Chain A
Amino acid sequence: MRSDARLPLALTLAAAGGLMFLHLPILLIFLYAFTTDERTYQFPPPGYTLQWFGVTWNRADVWPPLWLSLKVAAVATTLALLLGSLAAAALSRASFFGREQISLLIILPIALPGIITGMSLRSAYAVMDIPFSTLTIVLGHATFCIVIVYNNAVARLRRLSGALAEASADLGANAFQTFRFVILPNMGSALLAGGMLAFALSFDEVIVTTFTAGQQSTLPIWMLNELVRPRQRPVTNVVAIVVFATTFVPILLAYHLTRGGDATAGAGK
């Protein structure tokens, strides 16, 4: 429903102001990546340069955190896709005693503050005598990545499993054909969207990571440390642009894939 009525000017201004307050600071981050001033963030920048991209490229300490972040996000997302979709399939099909409670338990990690998840995982690792490694970060991230995938898959399955699967069977399709032509094309975009969101969340996660990383640093943690140093500050901004691009693009795609839910490509040949 779109209303053609004109909005009052004050409301338009307030909305524009709110949006600008949210998004202008991001533009500032971009702007400072091109400044010639490396110690303080003064506005307006005294001059513009592209040198920081080269400097960043040549800084050896940027690369290990970047690889670690990518690795953690990739593994956590894979794990989440597998476990999240299986959990969704199980909980949307069967109905058994305690189903609602289990569903709540799966969703809980995303409702809990990250700091609680982080602290509890850290103490659990300590109790079980597990040394910090990539795996400990991955497990920490998987707790909330699973929820993202699970929520996406469950929402889609809820719409699917009933009527559409029945319609398919009614028209003569066997279980395999129903899965191949009806369930998968509809699940595919939900899983892709869930996976991308999970990847983006994992890639820039700080709090849980702080508690589960030990001495390792992921890219966001590296940035946090870098910000307090007064040396080559715009390098952080260049990295911020990279982080922004790596997380924003998947989120944008995920949004497009799940929008309306009707526009799912493929299938039916």
Chain B
Amino acid sequence: MTLAVEFENVSRHFGAVRAVDGVDMAIPEGAFFAMLGPSGSGKTTCLRLISGFETPTAGTIRIFGQDAGRVPPNRRNVNTVFQDYALFPHMTVQQNVEYGLMVKGIDRRTRARRAGEMLGLVQLDGFGPRRPGELSGGQRQRVALARALVNEPRVLLLDEPLGALDLKLREAMQDELKALQHRLGITFVFVTHDQGEALSMADRVAVFSAGRLVQVGSPAEVYDRPRTRFVADFVGSSNVLPPALAARLGGPAQWASLRPEAVRIVAPGAGRIDGRVVALRFLGAGTRVAVAVAGPAGAPPVVAFAPAGQPPPAEGSPVGLHWADAALHLMEGE
């Protein structure tokens, strides 16, 4: 397996701020790789380290095996779709898409043909003569994609690619990006703070926190078996159980996570633990039921997900909670 991008103990410090701190990461060729984390977690800095707009304070970055540490952005075979697209406002859509070819000195006819093909690929045939200012957010996003892809990058970087779009468009673009990546076979690396986006689009997810890489894995791995409390909490709204509570539930005294959808609501006494419903939240596909369980003081309520079709218990009513043995996932660290 060829690696598209490798990080070897890479750090980027800004004065006392450790934006990226000792990250080891391997992105296989052809992957759809998500870097997920809250703002300030270092994911965007990692992206800029790959594109070359940041240089590492320490460590080595390799792109297709070659040390990229000192290679300036314009000499990397990597292109970026910027967060707010950064389309050139004074150029037409066609000129924007041709730009990368123009600065490389490719002749006018080839340029026009390839830009036309790219606009076709992103379903913007006929938009060439327009200005970016005349386009909608979704169309600008496509222009930015075409402008990057026309250069035939080996790695495409996407910085919060869907952040500026409204919900419906975002969902449509998710499918489209996924299909595009599949068709082109290029390595896509994208940054997002939206865990749903990361899980649904990527085949590998890297979770960042405070400049460090906390966990890398397939979406299912990261979702089902979070390595730390942070991952459990950030990726999906899991039940994070303190050691005392985990011990009461029959596990070792360790932090544990329990997915709400793995918890079944049963009659009091029929489950692993009893409690009282303290809050209900209707989510459309089901109802989120928060149950206060007897246990150590300060323990948070355990949340269960009651799928639609099964009437949720009334607020204040006593219930039992049950789950399969494998559902209780133990986490490392404190």
Contacts and interface: CB of A to CB of B under 8 A. Distances in A.
Interface in B59-109: 72-75, 78-80, 82, 84, 86-92, 95, 98-100, 102-104
B102 A268 contact: yes
Given A172-B103, A173-B74, A181-B99, A166 B86 contact: yes
Contacts of A267: 90-91
B154 interface: no
Contacts of A265: 90
A167 B86 contact: yes
B53 A166 contact: yes
Interface string A232-269: 00000000000000000000000000001111111111
A268 B86 CA distance: 15
A170 B95 CA distance: 16
A172 B74 contact: yes
B73 A268 contact: no
A188 to B, nearest CB: 9
B88 A170 contact: no
A185 interface: yes
B74 A166 contact: no
A193 to B, nearest CB: 14
A133 to B, nearest CB: 42
Contacts of A170: 51, 53, 73-74, 78-80, 82, 148
Nearest to B83: A163
Contacts of B86: 163-164, 166-167
B89 A186 contact: yes
A260 B133 contact: yes
Contact of A163 (B84, B95, B100): B84
Contact of B151 (A171, A185, A266): A171
Interface string B100-144: 101110000000000000000000000000011100000000000
B147 interface: yes
Interface string A160-191: 00011011111111100100011001100000
B90 A166 contact: no
Contact of B103 (A163, A164, A177, A262): A177
B99 A171 contact: yes
Contact of A181 (B89, B103, B104, B133): B103
A172 B73 CA distance: 7
Contacts of A166: 53, 73, 82, 86
A262 B73 contact: no
Contacts of B73: 166, 169-170
A252 B151 CA distance: 41
A192 to B, nearest CB: 14
Contacts of B151: 171-172
Nearest to A173: B103
Contact of B88 (A167, A169, A174): A167
Contact of A172 (B82, B87, B100): B100
A243 B103 CA distance: 46
Given A186-B90, A268-B99, A167 B104 contact: no
B82 A169 contact: no
B103 A185 contact: no
B105 to A, nearest CB: 10
A157 to B, nearest CB: 14
Interface string A129-140: 000000000000
A173 B95 CA distance: 14
Given A169-B74, A173-B74, A261 B100 contact: no
Nearest to B84: A163
Interface of A: 163-164, 166-174, 177, 181-182, 185-186, 260-269
Interface of B: 51, 53, 72-75, 78-80, 82, 84, 86-92, 95, 98-100, 102-104, 131-133, 147-148, 151
Given A167-B80, A174-B74, A263-B131, 15 more contacts: A163-B86, A166-B73, A167-B87, A167-B88, A170-B80, A170-B82, A171-B74, A171-B79, A172-B74, A172-B104, A173-B103, A260-B133, A262-B90, A268-B91, A268-B99
13 contacts: A163-B82, A167-B88, A170-B73, A170-B82, A171-B99, A171-B100, A172-B100, A260-B133, A262-B90, A263-B131, A264-B90, A267-B90, A268-B91
